[in-house]
Amino acid sequence: MRSYSIIVNEHANEGHTKKIWNQVQDVLNQRQIQYTAYFTDHPGHAFKIAKKIAKKITSNDNYENIILTIGGDGTLYDAINGIKAGSDLNIPIGFIPSGNKMGFAANIGVANDPLLALEQILNTTEPTLYDIGSYQETTHKKQGYFLNNFSIGLDAYIISLANQQKQSKFWKFLKIDFIHFLFRTFEAYLNQEAFSLTVRMDDHYEFFKKAYLVNVSNHRYFKGSLPLPTEDLIQDQQLELLIIENMNFFKYILLSMIVYFRKELKLPSIHRFQKNQLHLTINSLEFYQVDGEEQGNQYLDIYFKTEKYPFWIDLTSVPREQRAKKD
Q: What is the DSSP string of 143-188?
A: EEEESSEEEEEHHHHHHHHHHHSPPPHHHHHHT-HHHHHHHHHHHH
Count of CB atoms situated within 10 Å of the CB of 287: 23
pLDDT class of 222 with cuts at 50, 70, 90: very low
pTM of the model: 0.86
What gap in Å lies between CA 286 and CA 305, rounded to an integer?
21
User: Domain coordinates of the chain in residue numbers?
Assistant: 3-127+312-323, 135-308
Q: Is the fold of 3-127+312-323 the same as that of 135-308?
A: no
CB 112 within 8 A of CB 324: yes
Tell whether the model's pLDDT for residue 310 goes beyond 90: yes
pLDDT class of 169 with cuts at 50, 70, 90: low
Written out in words, the top-level CATH class of the domain with range 3-127+312-323 is: alpha beta
The pLDDT, as a whole number, for residue 191 is 75
pLDDT class of 221 with cuts at 50, 70, 90: very low
Note the pLDDT tens digit of each residue in 11-26: 887 778 999 999 999 9
Note the pLDDT tens digit of each residue in 31-73: 999 999 999 999 899 999 999 999 999 887 779 999 999 998 8
Tell me how far the alpha carbon of residue 69 is from its chain's centroid. Answer: 14
Note the pLDDT tens digit of each residue in 245-259: 987 777 777 766 666
What gap in Å lies between CA 147 and CA 159, rounded to an integer?
17
- Alpha-carbon dihedral angle through residues 315, 319, 321, 325, given to the nearest 10 degrees: -70
State the fold for domain 135-308.
Tumour Suppressor Smad4 (2.60.200)
